[in-house]
Amino acid sequence: MITLYDYLSIGFYFVFVVTVGAVFARRNKSTSDYFRGGGIMPWWMTGVSAWMASFSAWTFTGAAGKIFTQGFYVVLLYWANFVPYLVVYFFTCYRFRRMRVVTPLEAIRLRYGAATQQFVTWIRLPFLLLFGGVGLNAVGVFMSGAFDLPLPTIIVILGVMVTFVSLVGGAFGVAASDFVQMFLVVTITLVISALALAQPQVGGLAGLVHHLPAQHFEWGEFARPQFITLWFLALLTNNLFYLNTMEMSSKFLMTRSDAHARKMMVFPLFGTLLGPLMWMLPPLVAAAMYSPAQMHAIFPNLGQHPEEGAFLLTAHNVLPQGMLGLLIAGIFGATLSNLDASVNQGVGILVRNFYLPVINPQCPEKKLLIISKLCTALFGVVVIVIGLVVSRLRTLPLFDLLNQLGVSLWLPLAIPLCLGLFYKRTPPWSSWTTMLIGLTMSFAMKFCTRPEMVAGLPFLHGPFKPEEVTQYYLFATVAGVSLTCIGWFFFTSLFYDASPPAYKAQVEEFFTRLKTPVEDLTAAQVQENHKVVGTIGLLCMIFGSFVLLLLAVPNEPMKRLAFLFCGGIVFAVGWLLRRVSSRQLAAPQKAAPGQ
C-alpha cells in the first residue's frame, strides 16, 4: 500500500521531528522547562497542543471502526466534550494556571497534603502507563494496516520513536511539533474527504448517503434511544469531571497568563464540534464501498477488528503518491502528543512528586533534569511492553475499550480533584478516601452487576442487544461512581474543623493562589517568547516547502493540487509567524513582572 514517495515523506517527517526536538532541547534548562515549557507559551501554541492531545491514532482506528459499522452515532462521543469544555472556559482554565506549579501533582500536594499526593502518585502512575500502552496499540493498529507488518513489530518500532522524541524535546518540542502537525492532519483530512466524495462510485455527499448501509440511519438496530441517551449523558458527566480535574492542568500551566489560559480554549471548543465531521467522512465512504468481509480480506493483520482500517483504506484509495506517507506521519504525530503526555506526566509524577520531596529534597535542578530523562527512557520501555500485552489480550474494539477504561479508572480519581478546586472545607483524607470508594464502586459495577438486574424497569427492559450491554456498564459505572464519590466527598466536610491548623493554612494559601491573577511575562521572557514564535514559523516554512516540493511527484494534475493546498497553508502560516516575530523583536518591549 505504501509507495517509495510515501516512504520519502515518512522519512522526512521523522528527520523533522528529531530536528524539532534538538532545536528545543537547548531551552530545557530546568524541570519547569522540560515539563511545562517554563510557563511562557502563547495561547495559540498551547491551545493547538491541547486539542492535538485530545485525539490520537484511536480517532483514525477505533473511532473509524465504530463509524464504519454504526455511522453518525459516534459523533455523540466527541460532542459530549462540548459542555465540559465550556465549564473549563468559564470557570476552570484560569484556576489551573493560577496554581503556579510545575506538575499537577504538586497542586494536589498544596490542596490535600503530602499523603494524598503520594497516594495519587502511586495509583495514577500505573494508569498513565496503561493508557500509554493502549494508545501505542491504537497507533500500531493503524501503522500495521498501512505497512502490512505484524502489529507487535510496529508497536516496538513506534515505541522507540516516541520515547526518543519525548526524551529529547520536552514540552517545548512537543508543543512546537503539535502546531505543525495540526495543520498537516487537518488539511490532509479535508483533501481525503473531498477526493473520496468525488469518486464516481460515491457520487458526492448525496450519493454517499444513498450508498450507506441501512443500520447507519437506524440506531434502533443496535441500541434503543433510552440506552443511547443514558450513554451520552454518562459520557458528558464523565468528561465534566475529567476535563475539570487538577490533573488536566498540564497544558494550562504552560501558558503565559490567565488571559492566555482562557484564549487557548478556542481550539478545543471548535475542534470538538467540527473535528468529528472531518474525521467521519473517510470511514463512511469505506462503509459505502466495502463489506465487513472485504475489510477482513484487505486487513488480515487487524485480526478480529478489520473495520479499524476503514480510514486508512479510503486514504489509500484517493490520495496521491507521497501524501499517504504524510498522513501516516501526521497521525503518528497526533499520537505522539498523546503518548508523550502519558510518559511526561508519569515522569513528572515520579520525579517531582516522589523522588524530589521524599528521596532527595535537596536535589539540584541539573541532576533532577538528568533523572527525568532517564525515567523517560525507562517509562518508554514500560509503555512498549504494555502495548504488546494489550495487542495480544484485548477482545473489545478499541472504541469500547478506551471508553470503559476511562470511566472505570479515571472517574474515581477525577471527582475529588475537580471538586477540590471549588470547595475547600474538606479534611486532608477526603480526596484519597473518595478515590478508594470510587474505585471500589467502579469495579463492583463492572463485575457484580448485570443488565438483567434493571430489566424490570419500564425504560430499560430486556432482552438486551450487545451494544446495549456495553452501554449499560458504562452509564451504570458513571452513575454509581458519581453518586458515591460526590456524596462521600461532601460528607467528609463535617470533619474539616478537626483538621490540623497547618493543613487549614495550606488550603487557604492554595485558594489564595486561585484568586490571584498571573501577570504577564517579564521583558526578557517576552523576547524569548517571540524567538520561539519565530522558530516555529521557520519550522512551518521548512515543512511546507517539503510538501510543496512533492508537486514534482508523478500524479494526476488534480491530485497534485492537494500538495499545493496542504503545503501552501503550512508555509503561509510559517511565513506569517516569522513576520510577526521579526516585528515584535524589533519593537520596544514592555511587560509586567512574570510568575
DSSP-assigned states of every residue in 122-168: HHHHHHHHHHHHHHHHHHHHHHHHHHT--HHHHHHHHHHHHHHHHHH
CB 14 within 8 A of CB 331: no
Least trusted range by pLDDT, from 70-79, 415-424, 454-463, 525-534 = 454-463
Higher-pLDDT residue of 436, 388: 436
Q: What are phi and psi of 255, to 5 degrees?
A: -75, 160
Q: pLDDT at residue 37 above 70?
A: no
More confident residue, 506 or 48: 506
User: For residue 119, how far is the Cα from the chain centroid?
Assistant: 24
Phi, psi of 186 (to 5 degrees): -65, -45
How are the residues of the chain apportioned to helix, strand and coil, as percentages rounded to the nearest 5?
80, 0, 20
Structure confidence at residue 335 (pLDDT): 65
pLDDT, residue 308, reads: 81
**Residue 88 in contact with residue 245, Cβ under 8 Å?**
no
Whether pLDDT at 96 is above 90:
yes
Quote the pLDDT of residue 594.
Answer: 45
In a 3-state reduction of DSSP, which class is residue 489? helix
Distance of CA 534 to the CA centre of its chain: 26
Instruction: Please count the other Cβ atoms lying within 10 Å of the Cβ belonging to residue 7.
Output: 14
The pLDDT, as a whole number, for residue 568 is 94
Cell digits of residue 172: 517545548
The mean pLDDT of 18-38, rounded to a whole number, is 67
Cα–Cα distance, 269 to 47 (Å, whole number): 10
**H-type alpha helices, 244-303:** 250-253, 258-263, 266-289, 292-298
Mean local confidence (pLDDT), 217-221: 74
Q: How far apart are CA 63 and CA 308, in angstroms?
A: 8
Cell of 198: 468525488
pLDDT band at 172 (very low <50, low <70, confident <90, very high): low
Cα distance between residue 376 and residue 372, in whole Å: 6
Task: Name the amino acid, one letter, at 163.
Answer: T
Alpha-carbon distance values, 200 to 84, 283, 287, 289 (Å): 41, 17, 16, 11
At 345, is the pLDDT very low, low, confident or very high (cuts 50, 70, 90)?
low
Instruction: Look at residue 592 and tell me whether its pLDDT is greater than 70.
Output: no
Candidate from 272-281, 331-340, 575-584 with smallest mean pLDDT: 331-340
Comparing C-alpha atoms, which of 350, 369, 522, 260 is closest to residue 33? 369
In this structure, the number of other CB atoms found within 10 A of the CB of residue 274 comes to 11
CB atoms within 10 A of CB 561: 15
Distance of alpha carbon 434 from alpha carbon 428, whole angstroms: 11
In contact, 81 and 220? CB cutoff 8 Å:
no
Q: What span, in angstroms and rounded, lies between the C-alpha atoms of 339 and 223?
A: 33
Q: At what angle do helices 398-405 and 62-70 cross, to 10 degrees?
A: 120
Say if CB 210 and CB 284 are below 8 A apart: no
* φ, ψ for residue 41, nearest 5 deg: -75, 145
Q: Read off φ and ψ for residue 463, nearest 5 degrees.
A: -75, 160
pLDDT in tens, 308-333: 888 888 998 999 988 988 888 877 76
pLDDT band, very low/low/confident/very high, at 496 (cuts 50, 70, 90): very high
Would the pLDDT of 446 be above 80? no
pLDDT score of 35 more than 70: no
C-beta of residue 319 within 8 angstroms of C-beta of residue 192: yes
Identify the band that residue 504 occupies on the pLDDT scale cut at 50, 70 and 90: very high
- DSSP bridge pairs for 41: 255
Q: Please state the rounded mean pLDDT for residues 392-396.
A: 59
Amino acid letter, residue 592: A
* CA atoms of 503 and 498, how far apart (whole Å): 10
- pLDDT tens-digit profile of 525-576? 677 777 778 888 888 899 999 999 999 998 888 889 999 999 999 999 999 9
What confidence category does residue 151 fall into, taking pLDDT thresholds of 50, 70 and 90?
confident
Instruction: Work out the percent of the chain whose per-residue pLDDT is above 70.
Output: 85
| Cα–Cα distance measured from residue 215 to residue 150, given in angstroms and rounded to the nearest whole number | 32
336: pLDDT strictly greater than 90: no
Domains in the chain, ordered, with CATH?
4-518 (1.20.1730.10)
Q: What is the mean pLDDT of residues 140-162?
A: 76
Per DSSP, the three-state class of 255 is strand
Give, in order, the Cα–Cα distances in Å from 329 to each of 13, 34, 56: 6, 24, 12
Residues 398, 141 contacting (CB under 8 angstroms): yes
Looking at residue 591, what is its pLDDT? 46
Cβ neighbors of 461 (< 8 A, separation 6 or more) are 455
144-153, 416-425, 431-440: least confidently modelled range:
144-153
Nearest to 128 by CA among 485, 546, 533, 410: 410
